[in-house]
Structures are given as structure tokens and as C-alpha cells.
Chain A
């Protein structure tokens, strides 16, 4: 197992290098916006533009720029400096990461806690009103765009602009270390909104898996053994049905850790997603590289963790 993990980690490093190269190509070689132009505004004559380019290091050959970038990361753990604020990319990311982690992990807890009972019950009571209600709710959750749901949540429940002021509104996020209660209450609406789509998807998935599993032979055996129906459904059924969901959840969390842009934007949460979006709008290359690499890192780690977890959960998969 250790050798397996090590191999995956090494491959992960190779992948990260590839991602950084691809990001570099996309933004430097095929740019959609020129940071020098954005900085200069339309008043700049070509000489000024050239000057700005030089000051940002954009006039050097592409390979030299990439080499500098790569060596800085590997040798000095230095991701460079934002073209705009001059802040170091590393510090920007470290500053924003806790918010994204808070948002993602909280939402994950919500959607797992919600999806499991919904999925199990709607599978066990297939065809009844419980099942139909869950399916209908799931359809809504999957179809509703997150941004719209967020606005709706704010217009209904935010304590500053909502019709039924219950929860803190947009922009009220504070770090956990500053004020734990305020941190918690400010994240309730974002957690619910972000979790809604996932709850719907996971409940549906679990329902499908459970229906399949409940018709498997070993479930019949469990009943034949005289186990209570509750034990049959939850210990035998769920145990077998949940494995694909665990891996999916791992991957989704990995993705979300790279930033949930829309939720962060609506609720004004200063996370990685927003950082990434703003960097793209400003063509702030160093920050873009930093956030993309971070997101790739999370995805790679999530993949490794998920594969290991799968082997742990399903012993049939383990290599000998």
C-alpha cells in the first residue's frame, strides 16, 4: 500500500508540472487579455505599453519566463507576485484558503448528512409519497443554478435584505479565529445553498445504488438469517451502496477546495474561487498560476485519497 501511494504521489507531481505548463500556455501564449493593456488603459502609446510589459517581465522569451516560474516554485517555494496588488501569491492563497475550506467542508457535512437518509428512505419506500417528494426535490436541487439559489436565500433569509431576517447576510463572513459564532452563522446560508445541488445528486445516486443492492442475493440471505429489516437496510444495504458515493464525495470535495466561485461571489466569501476569478479578469498571471496549481493539487490529492479509501472500503479491490 505504501508503495502504491508513493507511486501515485510521484505521478501527481508530474501531473502538476503538466498543469502548470498548460496554464502557462493558455494564459501567456494564447492570452485573452493583455495585463499590460489592462494596466495601461487606452491612453498608452506603444512605448508606454512596452515599458509596462518590461516592468512585468512579459517581454522576455516565453521559455525564459516559464523557466523562471518553475525554478522559483521548486527551489524557493515562491509563486511570484500579483501584477496588481504586489502581494505575494503565496500570501494571497494562504489568506483565502481557510474561507474556502470552511465553506467546502461544511457544505460536505451538510450534503452527506442530508443525502444519506433521503437516499436510503426513498429506496426502501420506493414508489411511496416519500420517494416522490424526494425525487421532486432532487430535480429542483439539480436544476436550480447555485447563483440564483444564493440570491433567493439572501432575499428570503438574510438579516439585512431578507423578508424573514434569520441569518447574517452577504459579506458577513469572518474567520473562525476571529469570532467562532459569527463565522458559523454567516456560513449557514452558503452551506445550505452549496450543498443543495450535491444533496440532490447524491440522494438520487444513493437511491439507485440502494435499489440495486437491496435486490442482491446477500440481502436476501440477510433476511433469511432473521435480521431486523432496519439492520438489513442500513448495515447490509447501505454499507454496500455507499462506496461509490464516498469516492464521488472525495472527488467533489477536492474540486470544491479549488474554489466554489459562484457561492463565494453571491455571499461575499473571500475564498480561492473568487481570487481565481478576479485574477482571470485582470489577467493577473502569477495569481492565476497559483490558484490553478492549487486546485490541481487538491484534485490530485483527492484522487489518491479516494483510491486508497476505496480499497479500504471494498476489500475486493485490494491488490495483493
Chain B
């Protein structure tokens, strides 16, 4: 792949809370190149959002401990000054959030919020120009009647239009990287597809690198080029999208796939949820972090912590699992047929 524009290296983020140190992100490394989309998948509590917001420098405070590097065009954002960060955010790297109703300021008109994004990075832009550009942006994200809608308040728009407006706001300054945190979760299914299509179009138009964070494998399948699966603050499997869906290697990934409804599954096949609950991030399980919920757990897995290793044969595909590759292939072959385990 071409040189990555955003690279996260061994990122660790911990929160000092009353109940103890919460290790939300425990050594995560991923990167994304211009024009490519990285999908990050995991359940809530896996650390996927924290990693991304930390990358933006949005997670700061007396009780936060971060280590590692976040390189944007070669510059480490974690070591950057607040003023430098401010200049980069919204201009070079932008973020779209999950619930546009709560992520947009309820008391400001949508057009004004977009104009604000424009003017804070382009000193000298007049209010009239910013407003005109805001209308253009709204039209660009396919919001009908943009001239009226530019003066609307967020609660006056439908869910889909709100998300489009937020995307317009994020893209106002033509960023090189876009991080989208669950951009479709709050929307219904038909709208989801439209938004994803919009994101893909914009990515291609602007040549952006996109990081798509979601718990929905369906979204990832459609849109991502590469996928990273996160569990308990770590990446447990990482591969190009096609490879992951064809030959998933981690029991957690299998669980995710099997709990997802698929059109090509045999009729009458049941959805199989992953048993158990997400682990505590203050006192994570010993050994392999997934072992309490893994149907294939062995004694050794309770004490040995697997590292993320590339597969022999396909080095872009990495897994953190103590089962042998052969075993894993065999198990997946069975599961793909519809066997229970």
C-alpha cells in the first residue's frame, strides 16, 4: 500500500478512575493511506472510539494517560502543542460522530455551524462568503432545498439530513483524513446505505483516507478496504476486507460473523450470539483476553497472552490467537457449513 497518511503506533490510553486504572486502549497499531478506508470493528467497550478520538487529540485531561504515537503526515499529534492541534483538527483531519442530534449544537443553525468551521481555519473569510460556501456544501451532500435548510436548527431536520449536514461540516475544509465514528448507527437502514454511498463518493472525490468505526460488519463489508477487529482494547485480527470475510481466523470474528444475519446463509439458520459479556478493562482476564468467552479455550490460554502475528502465506492478515492456523481453518470450515461450533 502507498505511504499511510495517518499511522497509529502502539497507542495506549488509560483513565484514572475511582475504581482503578481503566486501560481502554492497550497497544493498538493501525494505519490508513489516502484514498483507502480502514474499518475498525468491535463491540462497545472494545476501545475503538477512544483510540480514534485520542488520535484527534480530543482525549486530554488530568486523569488520562496516553503513550504511543499518532503520526499525521509524519507529525506526532500526541506530542503537538494545543495550538498546532487546533489548526490540524477540522482542516487536515476531521471527524463525523455517531448521533448528529447530540453532536450538533442544538441552539445554533446548521449553516452557522458549518460557517464557523470554515472561518476558524480561513481567517479573512467574510460571513457572507462562509454562508454561501455552507449552502454549496449542503447541496454537495445532497440535501434538497439547501438555501432554506441552511437556516434550520438541527432538530428541524430528519436524521439522515442531520448526518449529511454533519458530514458537510466535517468536510468543509477538505481534510485529508476523515474519521467516521458509527456514522450510520443512529439511522434507519435505507438511510444508512445512502450515507455510506455519500461517504464513499466524497472519499473518492477528495482522495481522503477514511477510518470507519462501527460494530456492524455489514457496513464494513460494503465500504472498507481493510478491517481491524478490536476486543478489550486490542486488535485481535487485522486483514484486507475480502480476506477477512473469506477466511476469518479469530474466534471473536467468527462470533461476530455468525451473529450477523446473512442473505447467503442456509434458510432456517439461527443467529448465534457470542456468549458472555465484555470484560472489565480495569482487571482484564489473564492470558488471552477472549478466553472466558471462547468456545475453543484450552488450559494454556488462561495464562499465555497471544501477540498479533501475521499468517504464514498472507502476511497482511494478522491474528492474535493461540490456536494453530490449521485448527482455525478447520473450525471455520465447519462453521461456514452451519455447524454449531
Interface residues of A (CB under 8 A from B): 127, 216-218, 220-229, 231, 236, 239-240, 243, 313-316
Contacts and interface: CB of A to CB of B under 8 A. Distances in A.
Given A231-B120, A315-B153, A316-B153, A226 B88 contact: yes
Interface in B214-231: none
A72 to B, nearest CB: 47
Contact of A240 (B90, B91, B95, B107): B107
Interface string B291-308: 000000000000000000
B102 A216 contact: yes
A224 B94 contact: yes
Interface string B80-96: 00100011111100110
B169 interface: yes
Which 8 pairs between the two chains have the least Cβ-Cβ distance? Answer: A226-B90, A226-B89, A225-B90, A217-B102, A217-B103, A218-B105, A224-B95, A225-B117
B99 interface: yes
Given A223-B58, A225-B116, A236-B105, 13 more contacts: A217-B102, A220-B58, A221-B103, A224-B56, A224-B89, A225-B170, A226-B88, A226-B120, A228-B86, A229-B82, A239-B108, A240-B106, A315-B153
A222 B108 CA distance: 12
5 contacts: A218-B103, A225-B90, A227-B120, A239-B105, A240-B105
Interface of B: 53, 56, 58, 62, 82, 86-91, 94-95, 97, 99, 102-108, 116-117, 120-121, 153, 155-156, 166, 169-170
Nearest to A219: B105
A226 B6 CA distance: 18
A27 B102 CA distance: 53
A228 B108 CA distance: 17
A38 to B, nearest CB: 55
Nearest to B53: A220
Contacts of A239: 105, 107-108
A240 B154 CA distance: 14
Contacts of A221: 95, 97, 103-105, 166
A310 to B, nearest CB: 12
B116 to A, nearest CB: 7
Contacts of A243: 107
